[in-house]
Amino acid sequence: MMWMRQFSEVDVNLRHTCEQGDRLQGYGWLMHDGLSFGVQEIHDSDFTLTTEFVKRMGGEHGGDWTWRITAKQHSSAPHAPVISLMFYAAADTQGSLEAHVEERNRLGSITGFSEELGNFKITFRKPVAGESSSAKYASYNYLQTLSPGLERLTDIVRNSLNRRFVYSPPSGEKRQYIAVDTYKPPHQPKPADLRKESDFVLHQVTVQMPFQIEVLFESGSFRNRPNQLSAAVMTEELEERKAAFDAKFEKTFGLQAKGLGHAQVKFSKAALSNMLGGMGYFYGQSVVQSVYNEYPLLYPEGALFTAVPSRSFFPRGFLWDEGFHQLLLSKWDPQVTREVTAHWLDLVNMEGWIPREQILGDEARSKVPAEFVVQRNENANPPTLFLALQKLVEQLQANPDAESSRPTLPFLRRLYPRLQTWFEWYNTTQTGPLPNSYRWRGRDKDTNLFLNPKTLTSGLDDYPRASHPSAEERHVDLHCWMALASGIMARVARLLGEPHEEYERTHQTLSDNALLDELHWSDQLRSFSDYGNHTQAVSLQQEKVYVPPGQPRHQFPVARLVRSVRRAPKSQFVNALGYISLFPFLLHVLTPDSPKLEHIFRDMRDVDKLWTPYGLRSLSRADPLYMKRNTEHDAPYWRGPIWININYLAVRALHHYGNTEGPYQEKAAALYQELRTNIMNNVYRQYAETGYIWEQYNDSTGSGQGSHPFTGWSALTVLIMAEQY
């Protein structure tokens, strides 16, 4: 669906793909079961669109669905807005669509065929005045054309608009409005688009609020349909699904039983639902640079069913985000987690590598800056899918006969060969200079422009590491991820009756607190740290540009900010207290009696270091790189702001140590209550104030910032509220 407002000051405010630049007051799924129904609210300037759908199984192609859109103006609107809704169907290199036009310009229905859907019919009902089902005056237009790719649809519509149409309601003045006419390709000479063109059909209905419209999708192989899924039948089905959703939500998360208020429960449902509603099926080819090739190559075509971090800003799959997403979704529907995990592991190559960012298909690629498109096959990303597998294994062992976990064992058996290959890839390609040490590959090479060369592969992009990247680095977070992964490999192997001793040995070695101290504990800094070629004496300075006397300045390059190093680097522990320092605690590698916990808890609770009233900040306020830009154009990202995924791990770890016998048990339990309360209150408060869940939160004010809506890992707030770890 696209929509636009008629008769407004703005010339053409066409809304289509989720864009932060549209500045909507909030949008997202309030309810979505991931399978058969959903309710979404979209708040535009002075009206709200509610989109609801229900699916009904039947036939061999997934059955029927109906989509209902309800438009209501806000009480603040001076007069009822007139808007155009544009419903479209587009084929994507396969299948065909046929438009059926009734009385002059009204597209009554589209019939079509595709391999996966068989024959189908899409019917556009006429708008009615809300629930009363009395007909409304509307103007109709349609467009029937071809498109070379889904990412071109918005432009095609923009280039088809014309003002020559007249909106003349029975009780009002005639006014010209904007509508689709014939597509006129722009004239500028562009390289020819050689892709196969596919059918694109669009139905535009222009109507004054309030109104309601239904769109019916009927599958050709659904033979004995009891009735049409519309009007009262649709309403009844919706009400049933809503009641079932509410009951399942309370049974799964128990928030009302915990005494949380109605508004907080509604927020939690929205967080889960928008993650489910943001799931996508992607198909296409990654662009990969391998050490064996001179230039990047297209990978074979692949499919990916996955959740996404943000519908507006990151509408694609990210490897380390997905493990966090599945922590939440595995509680709701383990079958979703099994399917998603299988899709991700199907993307493994023969070496055991999975590209960390999945940019599959032209539509996905159109949303990615060019420099991020190429994936390099020596680069990793935290193997967080092991967190999700751990959940599936726990569910299976706790309740082996439950219907929801019974498919897990055969699933793990099918997955296991790929899982072994994936684990082995990490364990051989990401090793460090010393035995049992590890090092992220893929740090930025240019040490001249970056204050601290980024390590995108670690997930914590600009978090400070050794100032001068080298092969002698050891990374403490990766060490802990490998301790976690080897332990889960051993557990899965044991479950399947496969040899597990090697994984068990690796797990015991990496979990050995004495080894961890030796590789990563700095007595001087009193914290766990990376090790490498490092100096603290760095800053960004204006580059000196030599201009010969008598020459005009503007003919010479603009002075850039470049890094100045005031003291030579040496091999040492890296003094950057923050999320990385917490990893031995975050992933439960420390034994409950480890004296290091005392230091970690002290640093965590120190307001001059990591503690804020809104959650733990990513980098200590006392750190020299706290909130420092990394280049002229690169604002601080993991250098202070609060991130919910790591805060979730911190709350989970405090819960673990607070419920385990040991000298720090009471301290952990007290910190747990404080931190849990701070995070859930702030994420909820920001949602109530802004209409969004955010990518990160400001460590001084708690304000949401970065991309939004971000119902990727920020939705883990639901598990924090439910105290499910």
CA-based nearest residue to 321, from 311, 342, 306 = 306
CB contact at 8 A, 582 and 478:
no
Exactly one of 44, 357, 695, 699 is catalytic; which is it? 695
Helix (H, G, I), strand (E, B) or coil at 337: helix
3-state SS assignment for residue 46: coil
Tell me how far apart the alpha carbons of residues 306 and 277 are, in angstroms, rounded to a whole number. 11
Beta bridge partners of 297: 288
Distances in Å between the Cα of 168 and the Cα atoms of 5, 371, 589 are 16, 50, 71
Which helix (H) or strand (E) segment holds residue 253: the answer is helix 231-253
For residue 301, give the DSSP letter.
Answer: P
Whether 193 is catalytic is: no
Name the token pair of 488.
């889960």
Does an H or E element contain 334, and which? helix 334-345
Q: What are phi and psi of 483, to 5 degrees?
A: -60, -45
| Distance between CA atoms of residues 285 and 681, nearest Å | 42
Place of tokens 């709701």: 332
Which of the residues 19, 444, 461, 634 is marked catalytic? 461
Question: Residue 291 CB: number of other CB atoms within 10 A?
Answer: 7
Which helix (H) or strand (E) element contains residue 514? helix 513-520
The total number of residues shown for the chain amounts to 725
| Phi, psi of 564, rounded to the nearest 5 degrees | -115, 130
Unique residue bearing structure tokens 């099926």: 281
Count Cβ neighbours within 10 Å for each residue of 400-415 and write b for 16 or more, e otherwise. Answer: eeeeebeebeebbeeb
Residues 6+ apart with CB under 8 A from 448: 562, 563
SS3 of 538-561: EEEEECCCCCCCCCCHHHCCCCCE
Which segments within 322-402 are labelled E, that is strand?
Answer: 357-358, 374-376
Place of tokens 């997930």: 459
**DSSP alpha helix (H) spans, 254-293:** 262-277
Give all strands (DSSP E) within 494-639, no chain letters: 521-522, 527-528, 531-534, 538-542, 561-565, 570-573
End-to-end CA distance of the chain: 38
Per residue in 252-284, is it b (16+ CB within 10 Å) or e — as a string? Answer: ebebeeeebeeebbebbbbbbbbbbbbbbebeb
With 0-12 / 13-18 / 19 or more C-beta atoms within 10 angstroms meaning exposed / middle / buried, residue 115 is exposed
Active site residue 461: yes
Non-local CB neighbours of 356 within 8 Å, separated by 6+ positions: 318, 319, 320, 375, 379, 380, 381, 457
Respond yes or no on whether the N-terminal peptide bond of residue 709 is cis (omega within 30° of 0).
Answer: yes
The three-state secondary structure class of 66 is strand
Nearest to 478 by CA among 519, 512, 430, 445: 430
CA distance 50 to 42: 6
If you ran DSSP here, which 8-state letter would residue 525 be given?
T
Closest CA to 688 of 369, 268, 94: 268
* CA 699 to chain centroid: 22
| 144: β partners | 201
Please identify every residue annotated as catalytic: 461, 695
